[in-house]
Amino acid sequence: MMEPIVKARGLVKRFGTVTALNGADFDLYPGEVLAVIGDNGAGKSSLIKCFAGAHSADDGSMWVNGEEVTFASTHSARDHGIETVFQTLAVSPALDIASNMFLGRELRKKGFMGTVLRQLDKKGMRLQAAEQLKSLGISTLQDITQAVETLSGGQRQAVAVARAAAFGSQVIILDEPTAALGVRESGKVLDLIKDLKNRGLTVVLISHNMPQVYEVADRIHVQRLGKRAAVVTPKSASMNDAVGIMTGAIDVPESEQQLSPV
Amino acid sequence: MSEKSSSKDAVGKEFELRLTPMRRIQKTLYRYPWLSSLAVLISVVLAFGLVNERFLLPSTISLMVQQTVIVGSLALAQSLIILTAGIDLSIGSIMIFGQMVMANMAVFAVASNVTPFAGQNPYLAIIVGILAAAAAGSLNGFLIVRFGLPPFIVTLGTWSVFMGLALIFFKARTIQGPEMPEVMLSLGEGFSVGPFFVTFGLLVMFALYFAVAWVLRNTAWGRHLYAVGDDPIAAKLTGINTNRVLFSVYLVAGLIMGITALITIGRVGSASPNVDPMLNLQSITAAVIGGISLFGGRGAVVGALIGSMIVVAVEMGLSLAGVDQAYRTVAIGVLVIAAVGIDQWIRKVKV
């Protein structure tokens, strides 16, 4: 059996008196698109924020490529090849596209100006950012030095996805990437997800939108009451079944909750 | 990311801008909000010049530029803090604290025969004074970062604390210029260029502006400072250590306040705990008029320099027109509220 690229067992996360994760398990296999669905408050966002390094779990363990890990910040998650596109996108509106793509990991010039005076290699960053956007087929952006706040919602999403895919990452987590977008822009983001998969990246997609999930996902992780209720595939379960598990109308026995890679 | 060097330039070209002239102007103003401040400065100067021709005399302009050193230097420190969406109300009192530390220590060194101080050269006093101000600034940063207190409250508190400490330690006594070693007053000296007098303090202020502007534009620290002011949660999620950035900003601002202390001693010719109580407000006014948004993350420090000149020009113009000091104080208050109102309005237009 294939080894999961990201694995978690018994994750617990509490916020004061609220328990967001109550012993959640998680398996992500290389090269797949795994959708995470669940009702509001089921712990989807809390779950992926543990993998993103934005939260640290109160209990439970995580493994990346078989190695047990704990993430102190989004930096340590990135060091393990996990990049996240947060629902809020985590972009700085007043900064330009290139600056945003390199935010927190800027390139410095070589030689004295870079090592002693710590001068940034702005030109290098712009070129790389433009190249990255182009390679993802995002050509609607005319000017790489444009402030992000001047972009449309879909364009911002594209910048955030390009940033996540740019730095040799293995796993890209997308939190509700289409929630704020119109139909056409959503379609583009879905194409982007398929493209990421074709490039050999592993994708985790959190979404409320069942038709979208069924369009791109290989497997579907159903989160309920802070736990994994089941893992299904678009072929093994209908949308109604998935919604049934999500809301608790259908109960899945413990032994059938885990599903190996397809 | 791959290194396809041959196609790199071609890729860059595709993203080059093709803009209409109008869009270009709009974009320029959007990118450089201080350009409109410059227009305001020129209008203010011309308007006062029309009212009173003495205003445009080289000697008056020379005096105004010299007047700018104190407000201008403090406005630089204030700008850094405002860029992080903070505010510093303790700026004037930290500057005074640093000034009292360095002046008293220098005088003590000259007069005393106590071992560690006797015959110490005044440079040590200057360094200790600047470091005292930097420490005071870092205390602000520490309280804000460690306990998550709002900058407004923290600096309102430390404003009172450092003013009090300056009075307690140094008995509220003004140290006159002649009492101090000459070096202490050196930044008030200078040279003439035609009808204009250029003080060394002015050169130090310009050097500070240049250095800060360069660092903001060209280093990761500069970008992170803007990112933290723009959206702290987003900045944190991108892996920026927002606490470290914030703390360092208050530290650097304190350092600038310490250097301003020395500039002020040179400019005023003495070290007094009773320096202009309006300095805090003036530094905020200068920064905001200069296009640095109180909401953080937007603006360039050169704007604060222009803003300082506007503040000084308005004061000087009203003074030459025979307006009473009390009314000038009213004018500065009106100016700051108007500037913040305009800042808010601009942001509404953008969103």
* Segment B169-190 mean pLDDT: 87
pLDDT in tens, B124-148: 899 999 999 999 999 999 999 999 9
Q: What is residue B13's predicted lDDT score, i.e. its pLDDT?
A: 43
- pLDDT range class, residue B18, cuts 50, 70, 90: low
B287 domain residue, yes or no = yes
Q: DSSP for A108-137?
A: B-SHHHHHTS--B-HHHHHHHHHHHHHHTT
B77 domain residue, yes or no = yes
Start-to-end CA span in chain A (Å): 11
- pLDDT range class, residue B15, cuts 50, 70, 90: very low
Is the CB of residue A142 less than 8 Å away from at least one CB of chain B? yes
Residue A211 has pLDDT above 70, yes or no: yes
Residue with tokens 């104080």: B329
Residue B101 to residues B114, B136, B201, B254, B276: CA-CA distances in angstroms? 17, 12, 19, 14, 18
**Total number of domains constituting chain B:** 1
B8 domain residue, yes or no = no
Q: What is residue B273's predicted lDDT score, i.e. its pLDDT?
A: 86
B341 domain residue, yes or no = yes
Kindly report the backbone phi and psi dihedral angles of residue B321, in degrees, each rounded to the nearest multiple of 5, phi listed first.
Answer: -80, 5
Q: Which residues of A touch B1 (CB under 8 A)?
A: 128, 131-132, 166-168
Contacts of A88 (CB under 8 A, 6+ apart): B233, B234, B237
Query: What distance in Å separates the CA atoms of residue A165 and residue A154, rounded to the nearest whole number?
Result: 16
Contacts of B230 (CB under 8 A, 6+ apart): A92, A93, A94, A95, B296, B297, B298
Residues pairing with B271 in the sheet: B175
Domains, chain A, ranges and CATH?
1-81+172-262 (3.40.50.300), 90-167 (no CATH)
B6 domain residue, yes or no = no
pLDDT in tens, B241-297: 999 999 999 999 999 999 999 999 999 999 988 777 788 889 999 999 998 988 899
- A237 alpha carbon, distance to own chain's centre: 24
Kindly report the backbone phi and psi dihedral angles of residue A7, in degrees, each rounded to the nearest multiple of 5, phi listed first.
Answer: -135, 145
Surface of A (117-136) touching B: CB under 8 A: 117-120, 122, 126-128, 130-132, 134
B128 to chain A, closest Cα gap in Å: 26
B329 domain residue, yes or no = yes
Q: Residue type for B51, please?
A: V
Q: What is residue B1's predicted lDDT score, i.e. its pLDDT?
A: 39
**Buried-exposed string A115-129: b where 16+ CB fall within 10 A, e elsewhere:** eeebbbbbebbbbbb
Q: What is residue B29's predicted lDDT score, i.e. its pLDDT?
A: 66
Between B9 and A11, name the one with better pLDDT: A11
Q: What is residue A150's predicted lDDT score, i.e. its pLDDT?
A: 84
Q: What is residue B6's predicted lDDT score, i.e. its pLDDT?
A: 39
Name the pTM for this structure: 0.87
pLDDT in tens, A80-134: 999 999 988 899 988 999 999 999 888 888 888 888 888 888 888 998 888 888 8
B237 domain residue, yes or no = yes
B13 domain residue, yes or no = no
A88:B234 CB<8 A: yes
CB-CB contact of A220 with A233 (8 Å): yes
Give the CATH number of the domain where residue B125 resides: 1.10.3470
Q: Which residues of A touch B2 (CB under 8 A)?
A: 131
Surface of A (149-188) touching B: CB under 8 A: 149, 166-168
Residue A53 has pLDDT above 60, yes or no: yes
Count of CB atoms situated within 10 Å of the CB of A60:
17
Residue B32 to residues B26, B28, B130, B228, B290: CA-CA distances in angstroms? 10, 6, 32, 20, 10
- pLDDT range class, residue B26, cuts 50, 70, 90: low
Domain of residue B156 covers 33-346
Q: Report the complex ipTM.
A: 0.85
